[in-house]
Amino acid sequence: MNIQANQPAAKLTVAETALVEAFSAQIGDLPGNGAVAGTRDRLLDDLKTAGLPTRRIESWHYTDLKNLLRSVPEQVAGTKVSSIAPLVKGSTVLPVLQGAAHADAEIDGVTITAFRDQLSDGSAVAGLTALDKDDAIGRLNGSFVRDGLALIIPANAEIEDVIELQASHGEGQIHTRFPVSFGAGSKATIVERHRSETDAAALVSSISDLTLEDGAEITWIILQQQGAADTHLAQIRVKLGAEAKLRLYVVNAGGKLVRQELRIEVQGEGAELTLRGVNLLGGDTHTDVTLVLGHNVPHTNSTETFRNVVFDKASGVFQGMIRVAPDAQKTDAKMACNTLLMSDDGDFSVKPELEIFADDVICGHGATVADIDRNHLFYLMARGVPENKARAMLVNAFVAEIVEELEEDKLVEPLEEIISAWLDKHA
């Protein structure tokens, strides 16, 4: 018999050692009261014991972080970055520059706090958790987080201007957190943007923690534009109350090693989730989007659609787990993941999973991987559009379809511009 015993803690990798050392070096410097410091210690300890996840951990099977994260960039002091024009004209920009929040903007009725203050007074401690035993991002971020922005949108507030949480950075280590609560019946559109100003490597971890109270109607757009050498480990945690409506868009258009986790709990009847993703993958990069969605109560709906375009030697992963709780009858969930493979050297792995414990539900998933439709290509070329341009139009169309579902021109147009610009550079 070939039984593998639980091995004693293996030797730490270069990256793991660097993380442990970085933590020791920062002790006393990381913001937080005693409770926060204790939590940080515990999370780092767990990280050290468990190590970075490998392919043997099921939820990390396609992203062997231990292997892929070869090193950790040095903490760099004094890196200067600046904010840029927001995605949507007229947005209120809340900048986080090299991991440090600027919370001085004012939005009527909205409470804006720098997350470092919540660490200092200890109110942040409840959120510094790992969601499960394999939650490496929760551990990493909980250990190292320095700042971020906490927003409270009061009940029934209708925030007209888009709010852009704009995290810009250069090289180094950046760990941020964005807890945002949306009061009952509130309406708002938020852009969560991560961008790099250099090609020098950064390690970024970021967790957004969203609570939608009953009847809130929120659009949340994650726009990831990290640098070519960056590791971006992100998580969005969402709780949806009764009748709450969330449109969650995830656009990945950067980074070298990216894991974006979506941990969503639908907790109130009548809640509705519209999840859309666009993954633009090129170069020698690895991008993983992992969804764990719980339909926990009866009468909730969700649709999940991802469109992926893979160039060069890029590899992509989508794992989509939908859990329907035993009494969550009348759940309606539809998941689709469509990939355009533009290169023979690229790959994309899709792993949909449905765990359904209720018997009166509609749940479905579908996945396709294809090249550009030859009939479409011929049609465009027969009208005089040269081949490279026709291909670009078709790739664009493939993802634009998803973006256009947003319907509001002020959101659709700038997102389409970002996508076209990315495609112009990579196609």
Partner 1 sequence: MLEIKNLHARIAEDGTEIIRGLNLTVKPGEIAAIMGPNGSGKSTLSYILSGREDYEVTEGDITYNGESILELDPAERASKGIFLAFQYPVEIPGVATMQFLKVAMNEQRKARGEDELTTPDFMRRVKEAAEQLKIDPAMLRRPLNVGFSGGEKKRAEILQMALLEPTLCILDETDSGLDIDALKIVADGVNALRSPDRAVIVITHYQRLLDYIVPDTVHVLYKGQIIRSGDKELAQELEANGYADVIETAA
Q: Interface residues with partner 1 (CB under 8 A)?
A: 373-376, 378-387, 389-390, 393-394, 396-401, 404
For partner 1, the closer of residues 133 and 389 by Cβ is 389
Closest approach, Cβ 396 to partner 1, in A, equals 7
For partner 1, the closer of residues 291 and 393 by Cβ is 393
For partner 1, the closer of residues 219 and 396 by Cβ is 396
d(CA 141, CA 99): 12
Listed in sequence order, the residues at least 6 apart from 47 whose beta carbon sits closer than 8 Å to its beta carbon are: 16, 19, 136, 139, 140, 143
Closest approach, Cβ 280 to partner 1, in A, equals 15
For partner 1, the closer of residues 124 and 380 by Cβ is 380
Closest approach, Cβ 294 to partner 1, in A, equals 32
Token representation of residue 166: 């704009």
Closest approach, Cβ 340 to partner 1, in A, equals 12
d(CA 86, CA 108): 19
Phi/psi of residue 340, nearest 5 degrees: -105, 115
For partner 1, the closer of residues 269 and 404 by Cβ is 404
Listed in sequence order, the residues at least 6 apart from 379 whose beta carbon sits closer than 8 Å to its beta carbon are: none
For partner 1, the closer of residues 50 and 392 by Cβ is 392
Closest approach, Cβ 427 to partner 1, in A, equals 15
Closest approach, Cβ 398 to partner 1, in A, equals 6
For partner 1, the closer of residues 82 and 375 by Cβ is 375
For partner 1, the closer of residues 80 and 374 by Cβ is 374
Closest approach, Cβ 393 to partner 1, in A, equals 6
Closest approach, Cβ 193 to partner 1, in A, equals 24
For partner 1, the closer of residues 161 and 401 by Cβ is 401
**Do residues 315 and 283 touch, judged by C-beta distance below 8 A?**
no
Closest approach, Cβ 405 to partner 1, in A, equals 11
For partner 1, the closer of residues 202 and 399 by Cβ is 399
Closest approach, Cβ 332 to partner 1, in A, equals 23
